[in-house]
Chains A and B, each alone.
Chain A
Amino acid sequence: MSETNNITELKNVLEAALLTSHEPLSLEDMTRLFADRMERTTLRMLLDELKQDWSARTMELVQVASGYRFQARVEYATHLARLNPDKQVKYSRAVMETLAIIAYRQPVTRGDIEEIRGVAVNPNVMRQLQERDWVDVVGQREVPGRPSLYATTKHFLDDLNLRSLAELPPMEDFAQQEIPLDL
């Protein structure tokens, strides 16, 4: 089976795969599309070109934590939201604060979360975050009781359009803008 090395054809294969995939595709996933060996540098080059090709379209090629995906440009969000109006459920503040603690202070135990928030962690909150596949247990702290250590998942980064935790809004900003101080 001979597959063409024609650049357009290679880009078409990538495009078809990315458009039909429900999850972001990693470079490794994409090398499997081709019977012949595909260098990562070549792949990146092709993806760059593909991104350019789509620059005037409604979909854009973006890179997130687990790979590349096509997504609708932000300007269409309001229109698209009208298709599923009941989807606009909000997470409670308890959920969001717990998520923020895990995201910024990970890996953390329930005790750590309780210490920062000053209230007991509602098991429901942790369940919601785990069911969403945003948070999981990455180990146990070696102290009596061996409490579980929680961390955020790649899926969390994907869903927030981030490539890594480093892209989270920096935390220091908040403290500085609200309370200028030196302790």
Chain B
Amino acid sequence: MPTFGSWVFGNWHQGRIIDRLAAEEKALNDSGAGHPLNNLSKPSQTNDVESSMLVMSGVTVGPSWWQMMLGGWKNFFGGEIKSFDKMLLYGRRKVLHDMRVQALQQGFDEVINVRVETSMITKKSQKDDRTAGYEFIAYGTAIKYSRS
């Protein structure tokens, strides 16, 4: 019964936060905001750099019990575990979106050398199959060019 609840509420809740993120991204794009993130190793312009700063954003996401159960079965058969994809894709998008918002709000012209890293949150014990989480972090160097 809890697993059924997990399927119903999990789908509903995760669908809701994915839609919310999509709406935020769309609103930002529609407002004409720039795309300051890149993974170049040097500033892209030759103007003088006025200031720079390390910026980071992080999020931790987890699949629902139902998705973990499906994942466990799929593990038996092999192949792509689609049920996990949903939250992992959301995590990565969220972390890059948060960094983009942070850079635009603080007036940075671009964020170079953006790296995204994932780490898994371990289970409490061997038998525990109800705890799972994945941490995503994105970090890069934000640059402000001088206005002369």
Whether A associates with B in a native complex is: no
